[in-house]
Amino acid sequence: MNTRQSLALAALCLLTAVALTPTKAEESFAHTCDHVNPKLVKLFGAGGFRGLQSYGTGILVSPDGYILTVNSHILNTQDLRVHMADGTHYPAKVVAIEPELDVALLKIGDNKLKVEDLPYFDVVEAAKRPPVEPGTGVLAFSNQFQIATRDEPMSVQHGVIAAYSKLYGRIGIFEATYKGDVYVVDAITNNPGAAGGALTTRKGELLGLIGKELRNELTNTWINYAIPINARITVTQADGKEATVSILDIVEKKEQYKPLTPNKKNEGPGVYTGIILVADPVERTPPYIEDVVPGSPADKAKLRPDDLIVYIDGVLVGDIHTFHEVLSRYHPNQTVKLEIQRDRKLQTVTLTLEKPKPKKPAAKK
């Protein structure tokens, strides 16, 4: 064998050895997935008509059935349901919501039904870890596109952390509520149903909650991001004092948690629509129209009783409180687009806002 043949044979052996050596991209995450999947749940609630999915994702954060997820429209129902990894399903209720962090805490079961010894993420330990560096390999677990039901496993995507930075997101014409630091991921993770899923290391260590579908207001591109599990924000309250809250505070306080009441400096002077909503007996009553004042902007827009207001200029209004809060940012003579549900279909109506009507003086006795 001559020198040239020897070199060719050596090169062939080297190439074969490289080809047979498992690369990092071929690394199996099966063990991690088996470990993480039982700690996630599929959520089913409000929605279910065109443009508004009725499903989402959550993570178990205690052995007795507390679930952490994002704050979304699917929670606006009396029939919130949870499907576990083993196929069992339970009713659930909303325990606490913090809009400024965009998270919610749920509880499986009711006064008669108790659950215990469930697998869960230790949020206390997860919150102690410092943020991971860009370039760190991650896994994203979620029920995107409702691929999983009952005992079917969650969808899993792998990628890396592209950045750790402030969230500049927008829903319709309004900025996203949460404005803190997020993990930006180089995988397409924020799909319908994925919000509330888990972002973990490739070993299954919890890093954050997958967020909603948002656009970056600086580049007008979709953002794939997760809210860090150790997220903490400081907000100026209505009384002018500052208050700091974290996801860990919500998980630890549970039913005793009281949401922040931020000072709304950008509120408008008030507007008139002529919309009379149904009574608001519970904390999260959907904004159904009970009546319309004749000759009002709502009457001119041909709104009807029993219409359900779903969006205002692309902003989801899941309850009466949110409806009033969103409208408080507008001024008279502005035009808004309402997406309403009528006969199980979404329709768009245009409404021109007017100045508030002066209150009539009380009759003298």
Note the pLDDT tens digit of each residue in 89-113. Answer: 999 999 999 988 999 999 998 767 7
Place of tokens 């008139």: 272
pLDDT at 21: 43
Greatest mean pLDDT range, 12-26, 31-45, 255-269? 31-45
pLDDT at 179: 84
pLDDT at 362: 54
**Residue 273: how many other CB atoms lie within 10 Å:** 24
pLDDT at 346: 83
22-26, 261-265, 285-289, range with the lowest pLDDT: 22-26
CA distance linking residue 180 with residue 321, whole number of Å: 24
Q: At 345, is the pLDDT very low, low, confident or very high (cuts 50, 70, 90)? A: confident
Give Cα 93 distance to the centre of its chain.
Answer: 16
Q: At 42, is the pLDDT very low, low, confident or very high (cuts 50, 70, 90)? A: very high
pLDDT at 56: 96
pLDDT one-digit tens code per residue, 212-261: 988 776 667 888 999 999 999 888 877 778 889 999 999 999 999 988 87
% of the chain at pLDDT higher than 90: 54
pLDDT at 357: 77
pLDDT at 129: 93
- List Cβ<8 Å contacts ≥24 apart for 252-260: 252/124, 253/96, 254/66, 254/95, 254/96, 254/105, 254/107, 255/95, 255/96, 257/95, 257/96, 257/98, 257/105, 259/96, 259/97, 259/98, 259/99, 259/100, 260/98, 260/99, 260/100, 260/235
Residue 8 neighbours by CB under 8 Å, 6+ apart: none
DSSP category for residue 74: G
Q: At 303, is the pLDDT very low, low, confident or very high (cuts 50, 70, 90)? A: very high
Ordered domains of the chain (ranges, CATH): 32-228 (2.40.10.120), 275-352 (2.30.42.10)
Mean pLDDT of the chain: 84
